[in-house]
Structure 1
Amino acid sequence: MRSAQDILAAANVIAVVGASRDPWKPSHSVPLQMQRHGWRIIPVNPYADEIFGVKAFRTLADIDEPVDLVDIFRPSYDAVDMVRQAVAIKAPAVWLQSGIASAEARRIAEEAGIDYVEDRCLAVERAVGQLTKLK
């Protein structure tokens, strides 16, 4: 199991499930920040055609290219289904944002052999990684 920092370092393409058009929500500002720092963000939102100037997809299965990391901004009770979908598209890692955790989702990821992070913020981890590099 890779560390959160190693997962981020290896990721180029991040699918963000629950990406929001609302600039006041973390599900908008966090992926936008990641995009501005060089990651390719693919928004997944069944109610949007475009977010962050990028085509939005209805589901993970609709994405037509490999994804390095699936970042989930959905309630914990949705995490199990989202992790199953991430496994189905052969994503090597899943990340549940701050406040989101699920023992069942963790079990599914571990059984599938994919990296799993929960209850942590991508943007915070990105910043920590940057500070670590400065030392």
Structure 2
Amino acid sequence: MPVEDDETLAEILDYDTIAVVGCSSTPGKAAHDVPKYLQSQGYRIVPVNPTTDEVLGERAYDSLADVEEDVDVVDVFRPSEEVAGIVEDAITRDDVTVVWTQLGIRDDEAARRAEDAGLLVVQDRCMKVEHRRLKT
């Protein structure tokens, strides 16, 4: 079951490093503004975007598999059809604890695979909204 309770959501928001798959370099897009907000709140943002070298002053990686540093949470800003592949990449890493898909993004089958692999899953929620609601 994807995480729904506030206590677990708050615990997830205590993690430090977030790989943002689909992180955008375009201000005004949610995939830019949400990670920028999270960065301003002290999170380490690791952008994953194959079309740019840098986002928010951080090196951007082509894929989650290419990220060289440890990641706690994978925050997904890609279409629902791409979630399964991202989940597979997250499962193969030994550092990821949570897969979080943003508003409007969900793949129940991929979520089950992630949960079966021991990961926590949050679907169809905005990290910025939840952070403001639970941590400020």
Structure-1 residue corresponding to 2:22: 18
Count of residues in Structure 1 that have an aligned counterpart in Structure 2: 130
Structure-1 residue corresponding to 2:42: 38
1:128 equivalent to 2:125? Answer: no
User: Which residue type is aligned with residue 26 of structure 1?
Assistant: A
Distance (whole Å) between structure 2 residues aligned to residue 5 and residue 109 of structure 1: 20
User: Which residue type is aligned with residue 36 of structure 2?
Assistant: L
User: Which residue type is aligned with residue 115 of structure 1?
Assistant: L
Structure-1 residue corresponding to 2:32: 28
1:97 equivalent to 2:102? Answer: yes
User: Which of 76, 80, 89 is residue 76 of structure 1 equivalent to?
Assistant: 80
Partner SS state of residue 15, structure 1 = strand
CA contact (8 A) 1:60 1:89 kept: no
Normalised by the size of structure 1, how large is the TM-score? Answer: 0.92
User: Which residue type is aligned with residue 27 of structure 2?
Assistant: P
Q: What percentage of residue pairs aligned between the two structures are identical?
A: 44
Partner SS state of residue 121, structure 2 = strand
Normalised by the size of structure 2, how large is the TM-score? Answer: 0.92
Q: What is the deviation of 1:130?
A: 2.5
Runs of 5+ in structure 1 lacking a partner?
A: none
Distance (whole Å) between structure 2 residues aligned to residue 106 and residue 63 of structure 1: 21
CA contact (8 A) 2:10 2:135 kept: no
Distance (whole Å) between structure 2 residues aligned to residue 36 and residue 66 of structure 1: 20
Distance (whole Å) between structure 1 residues aligned to residue 121 and residue 109 of structure 2: 12
Where has structure 1 moved over 4 Å in runs of 4 or more?
none
Structure-1 residue corresponding to 2:113: 108
Structure-1 residue corresponding to 2:123: 118
CA contact (8 A) 1:30 1:122 kept: yes
User: Which of 10, 35, 41 is residue 5 of structure 1 equivalent to?
Assistant: 10
Runs of 5+ in structure 2 lacking a partner?
A: none
